[in-house]
Amino acid sequence: MAPGQKLYPRATVKKIVKAHSNCNVSKNVDVLIFLDYALFMQTLMKEATIEAKQGGERGITARGVRKVTADSLAKFKG
């Protein structure tokens, strides 16, 4: 990706979030959403790794991710 090239249109993300939440949103809401998503994915992978090691598996599998998804989502429910 070239320097200075945007990954997504910030204004569009703000409009979508504002339409779904029926609230005013802050200037950097798109950045906060991305950081929350990245933290969720990191937690999900960490939990899936722990589940795989406890189950004696060699690596992370879809079954292991499905097992820990509900718990990870519950941690991030706002």
40-65 pLDDT, tens digit per residue, is 999 999 999 999 999 898 889 898 89
> What are 5-37's pLDDT values in tens digits?
667 788 888 889 889 988 888 888 888 888 999
Q: How many CB atoms lie within 10 A of CB 17?
A: 15
Task: Give me the half-sphere count of Cα atoms (radius 13 Å) on the Cβ side of residue 54.
Answer: 9
The phi, psi pair for 73, rounded to 5°, reads -65, -40
Q: What is the pLDDT of residue 2?
A: 63
Question: Count of CB atoms within 10 A of residue 70's CB?
Answer: 8
The predicted structure's pLDDT at residue 78:
66
Tokens of 72: 């990870």
Residue appearing with tokens 């989502």: 73
Q: Is the pTM of this model over 0.85?
A: no
What are the boundaries of each domain within the chain?
31-78
